[in-house]
Amino acid sequence: MKAGHRCLLFHCILLSVTFLCHGNNVFFNDNSNLILPGSYNIPWMAGIEDFRILSSITIPGSHDSMALYGGPEVKCQALSLRDQLRAGIRFLDLKVFGLGDTLYVMHGVMFQRSTLKDVLATVRTFLSEFRSEAVLIRVQPESFEKSTVNQMVQSLIGNDQHVWVNSGMPNMGQVRGKIVFLQKSTFTLGIPLIDTGRKGSNEVSDVKNKDNRIIKQLNQATIACGGDNVVLTYTSGTGFGTFWGMFLTPKGVAEKVNPWLNQYLRQFYPNQPRPCFGVIAMDFPGFDLIQTVINLNWW
């Protein structure tokens, strides 16, 4: 083989390996540069009827939405918050640590270079551009004085009429253009939340077992959909903390789970109407997986 041909072959192989290693398939994405397809519909909630209650809608979300820093053990997302919203994500999962008068967004002990004030500003900017949308936010206090987080969040939002903090279940028409808080445990602002996961649900030593666990959780979600609570299922996981899965990072789990999840959800497309699954919160979701979740809403 001539040197020029060998060089060309080498570059082709290198490009192929790079493409595969970066997981740039349509269901998993670890590329931080958002390139939306020309036909991508950012304001997808515009197609949801005003009368439909929020708990009856299937919503794509991100787990540990701001976890972009701290290495493979910590990182759960590739896209910035702004780009996640533009890609279709409508549920944000935030762990916060209160220090002084500031709520810092964390993942474990790792500061994620953002405060809750920053997050709310980004979401407000997005909603001012796309007024048909609503963004659900779960706040999980990580500080020692967890009870003070409610007061700090309330102080941040003030009397903003574009933030939903009531416990009653609204319909889509009532929350367009608004941030919707979800309450659970020590955080008591917003709509009550049901989490289908149990203690240890995020621990993965075998991905197949994780798939089966997600099926059970989604079955629970279907039963609970349309009620007085928003129902949430996390598809994320990590092998850290387990013996057999100690090398499974959140990214490694998502690379395997996301294509499977897309195939699992697609089987419901012939259904009329399609089942409701509530919020599905994912690590490293690709555009097509997000669209698969969204399209469950179209009967």
The percentage of the chain sitting over the pLDDT mark of 70, rounded to a whole number, equals 89
pTM of this structure: 0.90
Selection from 95, 90, 166, 97 nearest residue 133 by Cα: 90
Quote the pLDDT of residue 246.
67
- 43-101 pLDDT tens trace: 999 999 999 999 999 999 999 999 999 988 899 999 999 999 999 999 999 999 998 89
228 occurs within a structural domain: yes
Total structural domains in the chain? Answer: 1
Q: Which domain holds residue 274?
A: 37-295
Rg of the chain over all Cα atoms, to the nearest angstrom: 20
Average pLDDT rounded to a whole number, residues 214-223: 97
**For 189, which DSSP code?**
S
249 occurs within a structural domain: yes
Checking if the pLDDT of 273 tops 90, the result is yes
The percentage of the chain sitting over the pLDDT mark of 90, rounded to a whole number, equals 73
What is the distance, to the nearest Å, from the Cα of residue 160 to the centroid of all Cα atoms in its chain?
Answer: 24
Which of 6-15, 148-157, 277-286 has the weakest average pLDDT? 6-15
Quote the pLDDT of residue 24.
47
Quote the pLDDT of residue 244.
59
- 135-183 pLDDT tens trace: 999 999 987 777 789 999 999 999 999 999 999 999 999 999 999 999 9
The enclosing domain of 198 has a CATH number of: 3.20.20.190
What residue has token string 């666990």? 213
Checking if the pLDDT of 240 tops 70, the result is yes
Quote the pLDDT of residue 28.
96
239 occurs within a structural domain: yes
Going by their DSSP bridges, the two strands 230-234 and 191-195 should be labelled as parallel
Residue 97, CA distances (Å) to 141, 144, 151, 280 in order: 6, 8, 13, 24
- Looking at per-residue pLDDT, the higher value among 43 and 203 belongs to 43
18 occurs within a structural domain: no
Quote the pLDDT of residue 271.
94
What residue has token string 């083989």? 1
Per the CB < 8 A criterion, the answer to whether 52 and 176 are in contact is: no
Quote the pLDDT of residue 206.
80
Which of 114-128, 177-191, 192-206 has the weakest average pLDDT? 192-206
22 occurs within a structural domain: no
Checking if the pLDDT of 20 tops 50, the result is no
133 occurs within a structural domain: yes
102 occurs within a structural domain: yes
Residue 16: pLDDT band with limits 50, 70, 90: very low
165 occurs within a structural domain: yes
Checking if the pLDDT of 245 tops 90, the result is no
